[in-house]
Structure 1
Amino acid sequence: MYVEFALQHAWLVPLLPALAFVAIVFLTRPWKMLSAILAVGSMALSCVIATLAAYGIFTNPEYAEKPLVYATRWFSLGMPGMPALQIDVGVQLDPVSAMMMVMVSFISTFIFLYSIGYMDGEDGFSVFFSYLSLFGASMLLLVISSNLLQMFVAWELVGLCSYLLIGFYTHKISAREAAKKAFVTCRVADFGLLLGILSLQIVFGTLNLTELSERIAHFEEFTTFGILTMIAVLVFIGPIGKSGQFPLHVWLPDAMEGPTPVSALIHAATMVVAGVYLVGRTMFLFHEVESAMQLVAVTGAFTALFAATCALTQREIKKILAYSTVSQLGYMMLALGVGSLTASMFHMWTHAFFKALMFLGAGSVLVALHHKADVWEMGGLVKKMPITAWTFVIGGLAIAGIPPFAGFWSKDEILAATFAEGHYVLFAMAAFTAFLTAFYMWRMIFLAFFGKENPDNHPKESPWTMTVPLLVLAIGAIGAGWLGTPWGNVWAEWIYFGHPHHADPNFIVMGLSVVLAVAGIGLAYSMYLKDTEKVKAKAMAEQYSTAYRVLVNKYYIDELYLWFNHALVDGAAKIFYLFDIYIVDGIVNGIGAFAKVSGEGMRVFQTGRLQNYVLIFFIGVLVVAVLMAFVGPSNAVPVIGGVK
């Protein structure tokens, strides 16, 4: 009974946190703890409904082939003799959306709970929880949307919430600038997505996902292959921005200026995974365009490797995690590009647990150290903050790909899928990225939690509202991957595109990934755990100073964009300004000035006084008389009978 209720009322999943947002803004804002309880409780209830609905989906095999969709007409526009534009608002439930519902609501619930301790004493406490509730509601609406226009509305709400939360500390210039940077960067990408959505409506006459999948499968009846390729590329531009893919990744590291729970929410369960989810949701489009699939795969592989190299030299704990997220999102895009929806969604699932865990762990450290973020100034935190430290270690083992932790199974699935499809160059890039990931993550762990203590630091363990979420997420970082083990892969039975993925375990790939992960951790241990080795690491940075500066400055991509903005955007604006001032305004103002001057001249003669007019008349007669006198009558030509 409860399962059937959840299936038919899945719209309550985003509605409950949305109602919490409204209630906090208009009713409970003066009572901080009541606002927090309302936010946490509404998301927890959404998680319960989402879990029951997911149980109903995963126990009915027919939903893997034909999703459960119920919708109502949103609006209809049309003119006589033309097909009407009809847009529905509704819910689409299948294994992918069910998995996402559970993941987003579960992770969000514990991030909300963690926020009670983290934001204690901060100004705008209730407002912060209202923003969190709207953020979670927007992402959940995006997940269950049955058509692309409804999804786009939720997509933009997610962007709005990220702007509000990244810039929550309005007294910090860096936070305000980071919020604007995230908003503008994503809006550039969203323009491409909007063009793609409009093109889909124009060409195929619908935005409903189920109808689009059927019509695009026979796209020859509607359009040409070239137009379909253009649409696929336009749609992909949106996820490039939202999921921080190169070259629109620049906003994501700066987004760390917001409160740490926001960082965890953006990186694990909402903002950045929306782009990957959209590509996965529209796989029926990309599957028909091989070049678009290759674009997704190459973009993902390059982004994964590029971001991993950027993380090698970062010093702030949250920025290291931010570049790690960009890299892991690249993995997910790579999996989609090689055609494995299974591997991509699986890694999204496991990544949510260990990345949320590490971000919340980083927040625990920042609170204990009064927001001192440089990992080189930490050290020895494992003794004073054992829960934070050891749960963080679990997250580090998971993201490095050490079995049996969750990240091993999902990352190995991506590597195996890439290798099986014959993308050997992309496989090599992904494998090297796995080595770099283990190295830079454990560089951070060894510097922050182990080694010699910093006598200037006096940390203490965080309160239970912060440590309980860490413990729960640590369990997920250990066990979430067992759903997708190669032996009896339940995950592949349900989450796939086209047909279930039943690839045999590739022990060579598995062994290689483990060797690379262990090698990365071992190298980090040898370079950063002991003080003497830290000196060697610094000496190496000085020896290879050029490469070090390039990596520290993230390949100067931000500087390049800043130059582009100043030199081209501002330069073009200055040219248009001068054209407007001297050409457009010059012509308009010149005409006005001529009219004004000529009018001033005419005023001399148009006085309105009769004596002036008589005087002018008299002067005129006098002038004529003088002229006649000089001409003389001898020069006059007689006129007789009108003939000269």
Structure 2
Amino acid sequence: MDQTYILLLLLAPLAGFILNVFFGKKAGHNGAGYLATFAVFISFCVTLMYFLQINKTATPVQVNLFEWFSFGKVTVNMGILLDQLSLLWLMFVTGIGTLIHLYSVSYMHDDENRHKFFAYLNLFIFFMLLLVTGDNLLVMFIGWEGVGLCSYLLIGFWYKNQDYNDAAKKAFIMNRIGDLGFLIGMFIIAYLTKTLDYAQIPDAIKFKLSLLQEPQQMKFISALSIAALALFIGACGKSAQIPLYTWLPDAMAGPTPVSALIHAATMVTAGIFMVTRMHFLFDLAPNVQNVIAIVGAVTSIVAATIGLVQNDIKKVLAYSTVSQLGLMFLALGLGAYEVAVFHVITHAFFKACLFLGSGSVIHALHGEQDMRKMGALKKWMPITYITFLISSLAISGIPPFSGFFSKDEILMTAFHENKVLYVIGSVASIMTAFYMFRLLYLTFFKDFRGTEEQKHHLHESPALITFPLIVLAILAAIGGLISFPGASWLNQYLAPVLGAKEHGEHHLGTTEYALMAVAVIGGLIGIGIAYAKYLKKGEVPPADEEMTGLHKVLYHKYYIDEAYEFLFVKPINALSTFFRDTLETALSGFVYGFGKVTNAIGDQGRLLQNGSVGRYLFFFVMGMVAIVSYLFYNKIV
């Protein structure tokens, strides 16, 4: 029975993809959208059923669909594992996925290729489900690659714009760099432990360590550390960490629902999921954990500084996503896996709401994304404004909204483990509050700065857009209750997977209350600076050509894209040009020479075929004489 329900969970979105590919265009104006939404809703219902069941019994469900293949001592099954960790991910992937599909029905209403769009969204959900539910690294890798492919298809969905195509290729290539790290780590683990199953790898490691003497044990652990580092490189690519983060802001080229689903709530959290799933491996590699924490902290502060001055509403949210992912990796590097998962969940709520809210604004302004050409929209779009405000308060860490609890746990853990990383995370959080309320004030307050035509058509978005916003805003407001300080349901729920940890269950004392106060004051300072600058003084960011100094450097993202262009793209292009213009030309000439000789022989041979029966008989007789002579000479006959 479990196998039937699990197949329904996995295959419903795949069926939606297939039906939309072949019949979506004939399904009526919104038929493709409703079909895709229903397919994901089915997966959500099955997920909810298992979530309630496992929350009650605490017994994971594992189904081996079939044995995939074997090589040497390694056997890989197509197995599905529904435990506490995978079900948490499934809940927000399918739940938020359903809301975003519903939102997209209205948002993509006028697009001529909307059936393709919904087909791609369904395919993405299918691969994300496979990534999360697989019971071994190879099944996870199938989903890992699949979501990368769908990301490419969706970012470049409006393919008539070459810039969007370039953004899609950039995302695809940078993810392939990380994926190579994932593959290397997976091969090392398979070689060392002779298995890729999550349940068997820890036991295999313990057994191997018990057989080895101390010098060999250290070598074995060093090899495992290399595997952990390689897996982390894979996570850097998928979850947009330094140095593989520049693809995510460019991925805003895709339709806004894509940004909300893939680049806020699901795909970019795949790296967090993988590290958390393999926590037993990273716990054996403290040096790698230190690297993860440092990379996460640096990513959070670098992305936050860039977000301070961006003027594209989606670019601000994109750099905010990179920064928040950095905080999650900071928690992972400190061994606080539950805390990282907590922030993943709350971030999915408020960031999906923020992206969909930005889409509502862009929809009302007929494609305008520059905040310098917005303003006063709360008068025309009250629902969008209120939901955006709630989510902005949540991401800024203001109580009692969800982001306060999850971000506070990260900073509290960092304070107890590494004061320097705590300071970096705190500064990044203050910057987050500033740029989010900078966005809010520039978009919804003061005077409208767009065109008169835009002003004339301003209105609140349709119900299919505002309903998901309201649901997500409610979740962003109350989602922090799942891990209330000192009484965390989430930590208890995850304990069977992650074990009892000292992190994530802080006993509230004077120090903890002081840290909470500091975090809240920091958030209020960021909001206050934004208020004084953009609401009280009514400042508007300068035009691109008027920027100078540090403002210009931050606006151009530290010129990192230009550096990558100079260091990697241009040399590779030059090398490919060399091969094309020299070696390929020489080889082509050589190959063409063979072709010319063959053509010349053919031309001469063609002259013999002139229709003369006498000549044909002559050659026939000569051929027969030659064959008979050869046979007599060699005494064969």
2:30 alignment partner, one of 22, 30, 33:
33
Gapped regions of structure 1 (runs ≥ 5): 596-644
* 1:420 Cα deviation from its structure 2 partner: 2.0
Q: 2:136 aligns with which of 144, 147, 156?
A: 147
Structure-2 residue corresponding to 1:179: 168
Contact 1:217 1:284 in 2 (8 A): no
Q: What is the one-letter code of the residue matched to 2:500?
A: H
What does residue 77 of structure 1 align with? 70
CA distance, structure 2, for counterparts of residue 124 and residue 96 of structure 1: 36
Match of 2:380 in 1: 384
- In the other structure, the counterpart of 1:215 is 204
Alignment partner of 2:521 out of 509, 515, 519: 515
- Structure 2 residue aligned with 1:232: 228
1:502 match: 505
Q: Distance in 2 between matches of 1:288 and 1:298?
A: 18
Aligned positions of 1:228-267 closer than 5 A: 228-267=224-263
Q: C-alpha offsets along residues 187-246 of structure 1, whole Å, 9 cap, x if unaligned?
A: 111111111111211221111111112223455358622211211111111110110001
Partner of 1:453: 448
2:575 aligns to what? 572
Correspondence 1:60 to 2:57: yes
The whole-number CA distance in structure 1 between the counterparts of 2:545 and 2:433 is 19
Number of the residue aligned with 1:91: 80
Contact 1:73 1:87 in 2 (8 A): no
The correspondence for 2:368, drawn from 368, 372, 376, is 372
* Partner residue, 2:485: 486
CA 1:525–1:205: 2 relative to 1, 3 Å: same
Q: Distance in 1 between the 2:154 and 2:204 partners?
A: 39
Matched with 2:355 is 359
Does structure 1 conserve the Cα–Cα contact (< 8 Å) formed by 2:373 and 2:448?
Answer: no
Distance in 2 between residues matched to 1:264 and 1:247, nearest whole Å: 23
**Other-structure match for 1:43:** 40
Letter in 2 for 1:427: Y
Using the alignment, how far apart are the partners of 2:33 and 2:581 within structure 1? 54
In 2, Cα distance between equivalents of 1:324 and 1:86: 42
Is residue 163 of structure 1 aligned with residue 156 of structure 2?
A: no
Aligned residues between the structures: 579
Farther off after superposition, 214-223 or 16-25: 214-223
Distance 1:347 1:541 in 2: 38
Matches within 5 A, 1:90-489: 90-218=79-207, 220=209, 221=211, 224-421=220-417, 423-454=418-449, 456=451, 457-458=454-455, 459-489=458-488
Answer yes or no: is the 8 Å Cα contact 1:316–1:373 preserved in 2.
yes
Give 1:556 shift. 0.6
Where 2:62 maps in the other structure, the secondary structure is strand
Is the Cα–Cα contact under 8 Å of residues 6 and 50 in structure 1 kept in the other structure?
no
1: CA distance between counterparts of 2:70 and 2:10? 27
- For residues 546 and 237 of structure 1, do their structure 2 counterparts lie closer, same or farther at Cα, with a shift above 3 Å needed? same
In structure 2, C-alpha distance between the alignment counterparts of 1:218 and 1:292, rounded to whole Å? 23
Say if 1:76 and 1:84, in contact at 8 Å, map to a contact too.
no
Task: Tell me if structure 1 keeps the 8 A contact 2:240–2:322.
Answer: yes
Distance apart, 1:569 and its partner CA:
1.6
**Secondary structure at the residue paired with 2:309?**
coil
Secondary structure of 2:66's partner? strand
Q: Is the 8 A contact 2:30 2:109 kept in 1?
A: no
Cα distance in 2 between the residues matched to 1:248 and 1:476? 31
Which letter maps to 1:134? L
Mapped contact 2:3–2:63 kept (Cα < 8 A): no
CA contact (8 A) 2:312 2:370 kept: yes
CA contact (8 A) 1:216 1:285 kept: no
CA contact (8 A) 1:71 1:90 kept: yes
* 1:269 to partner: Cα distance: 2.6
The letter of the residue matching 2:554 is L
Partners of 1:188 and 1:386 in 2: how far apart? 43
Matched with 2:630 is none
Matches of 2:545 and 2:334 in 1, distance apart?
37
CA distance in 2, matches of 1:102, 1:45: 12
Q: What is the match of residue 632 of structure 1?
A: none
Q: How far apart, CA to CA, are the structure 1 residues paired with 2:255 and 2:542?
A: 31
Q: Give, as a single letter, the amino acid of the residue that structure 2 aligns with 1:495.
A: L
- In structure 2, relative to structure 1, the CA distance for the partners of 1:70 and 1:121 (3 Å cut) is same
Q: Does the CA-based 8 Å contact 2:446-2:538 persist in structure 1?
A: no
Query: Aligned to 2:14, which of 18, 35, 47?
Result: 18
Helix, strand or coil at the partner of 2:558: helix
1:609 paired residue number: none
Secondary structure in 2 matching 1:534: coil
Structure 2 Cα separation of the partners of residues 7 and 77 of structure 1: 23
Considering only CA atoms, is the larger Rg found in Structure 1 or Structure 2?
1
User: In 1, distance between residues paired with 2:222 and 2:582?
Assistant: 39
Alpha-carbon distance between aligned partners in 2 of 1:581 and 1:241, rounded to the nearest angstrom:
33
8 Å CA contact 2:17–2:120 kept in 1: the answer is: yes
| Match status 1:562 vs 2:562 | no
Measure the CA separation in 2 of the matches of 1:403 and 1:566: 45
Distance 1:140 1:150 in 2: 11
Q: Deviations over 1:129-150 (max 9, x none)?
A: 1111111111111111101101
Following the alignment from structure 1 to structure 2, what is the Cα–Cα distance between the partners of residues 446 and 176? 32
Deviates more, 1:86-95 or 1:500-509: 500-509
CA distance, structure 1, for counterparts of residue 65 and residue 203 of structure 2: 20
* Cα deviation code 1:86-128 (max 9, x no counterpart): 1111211221111111111000000000001100111111111
Q: What is the deviation of 1:514? A: 0.2
Letter matched to residue 118 of structure 1: Y
SS class of match (1:529): helix
Q: Secondary structure at the match of 1:431?
A: helix
Find the residue that maps to 1:9 and give its secondary structure. helix
Query: What letter corresponds to residue 71 of structure 1 in structure 2?
Result: N
In structure 2, what is the Cα distance between the partners aligned to 1:20 and 1:402? 40
